[in-house]
Structures are given as structure tokens and as C-alpha cells.
Chain A
Amino acid sequence: MVADYATAILSAGSTTLLVALLSLLVATLLGLAAAFAKLSASALLRSIAGMYTFVVRGIPDLVVMLLVFYSLPALLNQWADALGWDIRIEFSPLVAGIATLGVIFGAYMTETFKTALQNIPRGQVEAAIAYGLTRRRMFTHIMLPQLVRLALPGFTNNWLVLAKGTALVSLIGLQDVMFRAKGAAEATAMPFTFYLIAAGFYLALTVVSMLLLTLVARRFDVGVRKVSS
């Protein structure tokens, strides 16, 4: 019996991973956009990006999730009613979960990418301009390779927090590892056993991620001159 429940819990790992990876994608894109906005010459873009990171990082993840899953559809439905439209908007837990985690960690990624962009030597950007590279080539050929290296420590950290943060989606009904563990805990009289299995899953995810990202970091650090000892 324990084995059956354990399999059910661990097989939900694919849902947890799906949520985590798609959120990471959303967060990375949002983070890049907002980082460029924060460093842009336009005061409007700067203040929008500043507002975004200030608000999102000032509210607990759980509350952001409840806002996206319950409050946002409620607001949209009120507007629809006011306009006399006969529609009911509702988000699926999967979409709400990915959107929430993406928006939250996008704000953390913004700070990571912004610092990394600022640490790219100015001379290199100037050289790229002098060579007549288009803005797009300058980004893909000069900035991006260095951005990866400079942002990797922060990126790794954000990913580790995000991977654990996915446990919150169980609270809005998505059938992830945590949700299945709760189900098993309530169906049997063995809550400790099943929450421990869930904990083991997250710990394994953390450790594997740390190892993989260390390898990636080593790959991107090739060619960086170290201080000789």
C-alpha cells in the first residue's frame, strides 16, 4: 500500500517539473525584458519595471498565487458583468500556477540579469558598436554569452527557490507531488511517511540541479583568467 501511494506521489513529479520548467521560461523572458527596461533610457519603462519588481517582491508568493487564481478572474468577471457580457472567466490551476511563479521569479530574475548586464565591460559594448554590429547581433554575439556566465550564480539560486516554490500550486488544486502527498496522508494514517517521500523528491531535485548547474558554470567559466595563487 505504501509503495502504491509512493509511486503515485513520485509520478506526479512530472507535473511538478513541468510547472517548474515552464515557470522558469516565463520568468527568464520576463526577467530579461524587465532588466533591459530598468537599464533603458526611457523613464516610463524604468518606472514600470521598478514598480513591477517592487510590488511582486513585496508580497508573499502564496498571496500572489491567490491573487492570480481567485482575485484576477473575479475582477475580470465584474468588468464583464458591468459591460453586459455573458461570460465567466476562470483559470486552470496549471495556467494560474505557471503564470504566478513566472511573474514572481521574473522579478527576482530581473535583479539578477540587471546586475549581470551592468557587469559586462563597457568597452566591449562600445567595440561592438564601433564594429557596426546591429543591436540584435550585439545582443546575441557579445552580451548574451557573458550574460549567461555572469548571471548563472543568481539564476541557479532563483531556480532552486522556484523548484521548491512549486509546492504552493498544490494549494490551488494542481495535482503535483505535494498534492498527491497530502492525498495519501489523508487517506492513510501515515502523514509523516508520505510528506517525507515528498520532501525526498524536492531534496533530490535540489541536489541534482545544483550538480548540473555547477557543470554548466564550469563550462562557461572556461577562458576566464583566475588570479594565480
Chain B
Amino acid sequence: MNWDVIAENLPRYLEGAKLTLILTFASLGISFFLAIPLAFLRNSENAVLRYAVMAYTLVFRGTPLLVQLFLIYFGLAQFGMVRESVLWPWLSSPMVCVIAAFVLNTTAYSTEIFAGGLRHVPVGEIEAARAYGMSSLVQARRILIPAMLTRSLPLYGNEMIMMLHATSLASTVTLLEVTGVARNITLNYYIQFEPYVTAAAIYLTLTFVLVSAFQLVQKRWAGYLESRIG
């Protein structure tokens, strides 16, 4: 066994774990603010808007993230217009492409989760808000969005874990997050067992911490729903 190699390379794994967490939370953070308005459009009375958002979520939830990532990272270079544009230095960077692909993907899932939550806000709460004379903006800010988010918490927690795991795909476009670091070590030292097992242990730990933290959050913000469901 070559565990001393792993011990020697622990700082690299630490850097990798940092990048994994940055990718996870950057993607989730950006997508959170995109998914909220999209969830409203998904339930809009305007059929064009509703179907446009539905088509977006269908396409991004119906194709593998790996394909989406490759379409953006390798695919965009096919177009001269993109290569010559001022945005090219950004669009050719793996970091930007990875975050763009992750955001597009997780926003599609989050939109559907939030839209589902929105459909389950009790009618009475909305009627009460109207009776108080709230404008639709105030209604959304004070009533609908908080109610939608608390109802979406359990599913959104799953989506966060999915996102954490999906970041491992960043290793396929040269980024050195946990999986990328493990892959590099296997190539540098010609050992196949220890590096991946270490990576798996890191993901398992991160997942466990995230799930535990999320359970606290859920108890704090959605605890009041428990008694109603029972």
C-alpha cells in the first residue's frame, strides 16, 4: 500500500476540496437567484412564458450534464464569431465554462423544485395577502417566496448534494478539484487504488457535513410545516 503518497499529497487534496466547494457554492448561489423568477414564470398565466421555461428545464434536465459541459467548453470554439468576440478569453477558460454549464443545469432543476413549491402554497395565504391590500411585488417578497422556499427545502437539499457530486465532472475539462487531483496522482505515481479511495472519502465527508447542516436549516425554517403534514 502507498498511503505515504497520499499523506505527502494531502495539501493538493485540500486545494482540490477548496475548488470543489467553490464550484458547488458558486453554481448554487448564482442559480438560486435565477431560479426564483423562473419559477414564477413557470407558473405564469402567459402560456408563451410558461412553455418557454418548460422547454428550457426539459432540455437541461433531459440531457446529461457531461454533454452540456462539452457543448460549452469544446463546442463553442466551432463558431468563428465566438472565437473572435471580446468574450473569448472568458469563454475559453475551463473555470468559466464549468460554472456556466453547472449554473444552466442546476437552475433547470431548481426552477422545477421551486415551481412545485409555489404550486403548493395554500390559496388562503395568497387570499389573505390580497385582502391586506399587498401589491403583487410585496405579496411575492413577503408571502410567496418565503412559503415557496420553505416548501422546497427537502428537494433543494437533494439538489445541493447532486451539485456537490456533479462538480467531479469538472475534472474532465482539466480543473483540479478533488477528482482531478486524484486522477493526477494516479498518473504521477502509477497507483490506482489509494488516490480514488481518498477522493471518495473526501466526498463522503463533505456530503455528510452538508446533509447534517441542511437538516438543521430545515428544522429552523421549515419546522413549522412538520405538524401540518403529520
Contact = CB atoms under 8 A, between A and B. Distances in A.
Do A and B interact?
yes
Interface of A: 55, 57-64, 66-67, 70-71, 73-75, 78, 160, 164-168, 170-171, 178, 181-182, 185, 189-193, 195-196, 198-199, 202-203, 206-207
Given A62-B169, A192-B71, A199 B63 contact: yes
Given A58-B203, A63-B168, A199-B71, A167 B66 contact: yes
Given A71-B192, A195-B75, A58 B207 contact: yes
B205 to A, nearest CB: 8
A143 B8 CA distance: 54
B197 A71 contact: yes
Given A60-B166, A192-B71, 14 more contacts: A59-B204, A62-B168, A66-B179, A67-B200, A70-B186, A74-B191, A164-B64, A167-B64, A192-B76, A195-B70, A199-B63, A202-B63, A206-B61, A207-B58
Contact of B62 (A59, A64, A196, A202): A202
Interface of B: 1, 58-59, 61-68, 70-71, 74-79, 161, 164-169, 171-172, 179, 182-183, 186, 191-193, 196-197, 199-200, 203-204, 207-208
Q: Which of A55, A63, A178: most chain B Cβ within 10 A?
A: A63
A70 B62 contact: no
Give the secondary structure class of A's interface.
helix
A192 B196 contact: no
A199 B203 contact: no
Contacts of B192: 70-71, 73-74
Contacts of B186: 70
Contacts of B164: 60
A167 B200 contact: no
Given A59-B165, A165-B64, A196 B197 contact: no
B74 A178 contact: no
Given A66-B196, A70-B186, A190-B78, A202 B67 contact: yes
Nearest to A164: B64
B203 A164 contact: no
A195 B197 contact: no
A209 B148 CA distance: 29
A46 to B, nearest CB: 19
B204 A206 contact: no
A139 to B, nearest CB: 30
Interface of B is mostly: helix
B121 to A, nearest CB: 20
A168 B168 CA distance: 11
A67 B70 contact: no
The 6 closest A-B CB pairs, nearest first, are A192-B75, A74-B192, A60-B165, A206-B62, A167-B64, A60-B168
B196 A63 contact: yes
Given A78-B193, A191-B74, A202 B64 contact: yes
A73 B179 CA distance: 19
Contacts of A189: 78
A55 B204 contact: yes
A98 to B, nearest CB: 17
14 contacts: A57-B161, A60-B166, A61-B168, A62-B171, A67-B196, A71-B196, A73-B192, A171-B172, A192-B71, A192-B75, A193-B78, A195-B70, A199-B67, A203-B63
A178 B67 contact: yes
A198 B67 contact: yes
Contacts of A70: 186, 192-193, 196
A207 B62 CA distance: 8
A59 B78 contact: no
Given A192-B79, A195-B75, A67 B197 contact: yes
Nearest to B79: A192
